[in-house]
Structure 1
Amino acid sequence: MIEEQTPKQTTLGWLRESATFKLIFIGLLTLLLLIPSAFIRDLINERANTQNETIKEVSDSWSGSQIIKGPVLVIPYKKGINMTDTARQQATENLYILPDNLHIKAGLTTQILHRGIFDVAVYNTQVKVSGNFAKLDLSSLGININQLILNKARFEFSVSDLKGLKSNPIIKTTQPTLSAEPSFDSVFGNGLQAAVDLSSISNNEVPFDYTLDLKGSEGLSFLQLGKTTDVQVNGNWSSPSFDGNHLPDERKIDTGGFSASWRMMYYNRPFPQQWAGAEKKLDNDKKLEDATFGVKLRLPVDQYQKTMRTSKYAIFIILLTFISLFLTEVIRKQPIHMFNYILIGAAMVIYYTLLLSFSEQVGYNFAYLIASASTIALISVFISSLLKNGKAAVLFAFILAVFYAFIFVIIQLEDLALMVGSIALFIIIAILMYFSRKINWDKN
């Protein structure tokens, strides 16, 4: 007598054998594994923030990124103000003049400071600043030369972190050398100034020449202030990054260091050549940013950025691994329990913590090799024990190795990453279409 199957038995049998149900389970499991993947990305961000805090801590102790500003020639002048129809009061305002020619030359001696597992690029440099201010042209400002208080003139200049100055700058001009002193109300905010008496050269060019002996970290930038601004920078750092609105006219980078030079005219400079009044014009952050350019001491490998980019491909790796495992069990007709899928998924999520922790110690490339080889070996040995077939495990290890190698190539690429990734996905979809033709979606 044939025993009649109950609906419950029929449903359980279909769930155990249905390829459709297995794929639904794989999809849901993949989505669930995105939750711990998001936690890992938060961990990567936390470690990256810790690195930034360490860099800031070291910069505060050593000296921050430096921006060379100035010089500006400031000349006080008397301005009459009508109080009544018959009375006038004399007020003092400033005439601000930017350099006609500004030449800057800097040589960087760099080194890496280690704080725990983090690295910070710092440097020592001597910045030679020279040039001249042109003859006074007061016609457009409505100022008479007799109004100028020439014996109270001053040079004003600044660096972004005065803590980095290692010696007091000495300014050479037409007079005996001038010593700089702090100024808390300069055209740059906090800066330096040097008093100069221009009484004897009221209608001549005013030359200047001084050297800034300073230290800094991460980068060295300059403010375009001259009618003509020439800047030359060289250093022993082999991986510089040039930033700002002006890229170098000439650059050379090799394993021994770099050199770069800029030459800029004042046509696109956001400051006038001279102005008068209470407005300083050089305290506008947006204009200062537009006129700033220089070099960043980029660390050769930013493991956190690369690890974050790798983690964004987590769903891609997990889904392809599950689909490959599913096709393996369909082709070999050896079912794999859903719990085993969960364990394999967990191993692929832990992969990213391995990558992050090792990249902090040995760098991204070696960390990727260690994490990938360990994960592939673990999953392959596990599958070999499940299927009792070494050849199937070797094949699966090869498939995983191709996946991880492909992701590594994508991470290294920049401009071609999207195109290569799109072509690879197209090929993968074509392969899946081919194998899906032979699957019985109701039973294995």
Structure 2
Amino acid sequence: METKRSKIGNWFKTSISARMLIVGFILVILLIPLGFVKDLIRERGFRQTEVIQEINQKWGNQVTLYGPIIKIPYKTYKEEKVFDAKSKTYIKTYEDVFHNAYFLPENLTINAQVDTESLERGIYESVVYTSDIELNGSFKGFDFSAEEIPDEDILWNKATVFMKTTNLKGIRNEISIQLDTNKFSLKPQFNDQYMSTLSSGFIKKLKADSILSYSLNIKINGSEQLQFIPVGRETLVRMKSDWHSPSFNGNFLPDDKTKKITKDGFEANWKVLETNRQFGQQFFDRLPDLSAFSFGTDLIIPVDDYQKTQRTSKYGLLIIGLTLLVFLLIQIISKIDIHPFQYLMIGLALVMFYTLLISISEHQNFLKAYLIAGTAVIGLITIYSRTILKHIKFPLLIGGSLSALYAFIFVIIQLENYALLVGSIGLFIILAIIMFASKRIDWGQS
């Protein structure tokens, strides 16, 4: 029995295949703590999202402005036949049915000054803003001919003007609209599925050929995003901000010739014509949801340490696998005996890199956290390998290999457009090095 155990033990010590099986098994085992670390990174990222959402809700959420729009009621008639028992005939009756017509402005010019600030709660940060928005333009004519509505059935004296916004809570001033010589206060009227509505009192002396100029100012708190819907036949938007990292989004992009982005802020101008959209200037009976045509700016925090840590952890299996492979090649070539427990300790040290990285990055910038975590882990493994490997050249090889590998991963996660290209080239070079290094192995021992 002891002879059989001795033969098995010698086989594990002398067989290359056995060593590869053991290292492969250890690598599979290390996937368990590595998975726990990835879950921890996701959990911390979700926590960051929750805290930022809470900050934003108290300050003011994303802002989309829609309007101004003039609403004019009108009526049609529903014919009904009622049977008269005395005359034994049907008598026609007519019932009034009330509808609304919605007219968009001829011109809409928006000037938005966006002043940002960063709010912190503990280790988390969110960018919020206060925006002074000036809107002006004109309405030109109110034509009901498409619906063949006679003038006497149009309730001109019941016309109102209204605005819609996704963030009623963030408004910081009493909003009044100057409509020609008249001034109307806009008050919350009702809520629909996606926007809150501010509506005025009745507009008097409105006629089919009326031309009305308008102007209004809104001061509003918001977070992350500011957008507008191009309701004007010609919509001009000028946005200026002190934020250095805008992301222009939505259905329309700003003019590249006038767009300026510097470390001190940005300026952007949009021009949207009726022909650029897929809707007209008037709607009858129902105002559709036009939020799909919104455009504007995201005010993003460019460095998200949790995203970078998560991207780094995706290369965890690669780093652990390559490091254990280097130790295995050294063991095979130099005939040095490395115990499976020592492989396991080296693998766990590599897993610890990610917990160090995420914990330090919550209090320092990502570069400093990466340097500290990488230096600690590389130093630990290099010193530990000195105790199990005979020659100083092997620990130096381990330290140099890990340093190059971590530097390579850091470069990849900083790239966006060229990450796949650089990563593919790097992996090709690593594979070539391993292939030629393995030529020195006597595979007859397998």
Tell me if both proteins adopt one fold, taking TM over 0.5 as the criterion. yes
Question: After the TM superposition, which residues 43-442 of structure 1 pair with which residues of structure 2 at under 5 Å, given as runs?
Answer: 43-84=40-81, 86-184=92-190, 189-250=195-256, 251-277=259-285, 279-282=286-289, 287-288=290-291, 290-441=292-443
Distance 1:429 1:7, change over 3 A: same
Question: Larger deviation: 30-39 or 414-423?
Answer: 30-39
CA distance in 2, matches of 1:22, 1:242: 55
Residue type of the partner of 1:331? Answer: I
CA distance in 2, matches of 1:276, 1:80: 15
CA distance in 2, matches of 1:318, 1:342: 10
Contact 1:301–1:363 (CA under 8 A) maintained in structure 2: no
SS in 1 for 2:50: helix
SS in 2 for 1:130: strand
CA distance in 2, matches of 1:31, 1:326: 16
CA distance in 1, matches of 2:73, 2:265: 45
Q: Deviations over 1:288-316 (max 9, x none)?
A: 2x211111111121011111111001111
CA distance in 1, matches of 2:192, 2:328: 71
Residue type of the partner of 2:172? Answer: K
Contact 2:157–2:202 (CA under 8 A) maintained in structure 1: yes
Question: Larger deviation: 112-121 or 379-388?
Answer: 379-388
CA distance in 2, matches of 1:66, 1:90: 39
CA distance in 2, matches of 1:186, 1:306: 39
Residue type of the partner of 1:150? Answer: W
CA distance in 2, matches of 1:410, 1:107: 37
Distance 1:437 1:390, change over 3 A: closer
Residue type of the partner of 1:267? Answer: T
TM-score using structure 1 length = 0.93
Which residue, out of 22, 27, 31, partners 2:24? 27
Distance 1:135 1:156, change over 3 A: same
**Residue 182 of structure 1, CA deviation:** 0.8
Contact 1:74–1:97 (CA under 8 A) maintained in structure 2: yes
**Residue 206 of structure 1, CA deviation:** 2.0
Contact 1:109–1:235 (CA under 8 A) maintained in structure 2: yes
Q: Deviations over 1:302-336 (max 9, x none)?
A: 01111111100111101111111112223332121
CA distance in 2, matches of 1:24, 1:353: 28
Contact 1:218–1:297 (CA under 8 A) maintained in structure 2: yes
SS in 2 for 1:336: coil
Q: CA-atom RMSD, angstroms?
A: 1.8
**Residue 66 of structure 1, CA deviation:** 0.9
Aligned residue pairs: how many?
434
Question: After the TM superposition, which residues 31-42 of structure 1 pair with which residues of structure 2 at under 5 Å, given as runs?
Answer: 31-42=28-39
Distance 1:270 1:53, change over 3 A: farther
Residue type of the partner of 1:117? Answer: I
**Residue 270 of structure 1, CA deviation:** 4.1
Q: Unpaired runs of 5+ in structure 1?
A: none
SS in 1 for 2:145: coil
CA distance in 2, matches of 1:42, 1:186: 39
1:15 is aligned to 12
Q: Unpaired runs of 5+ in structure 2?
A: 82-90
**Residue 200 of structure 1, CA deviation:** 4.7
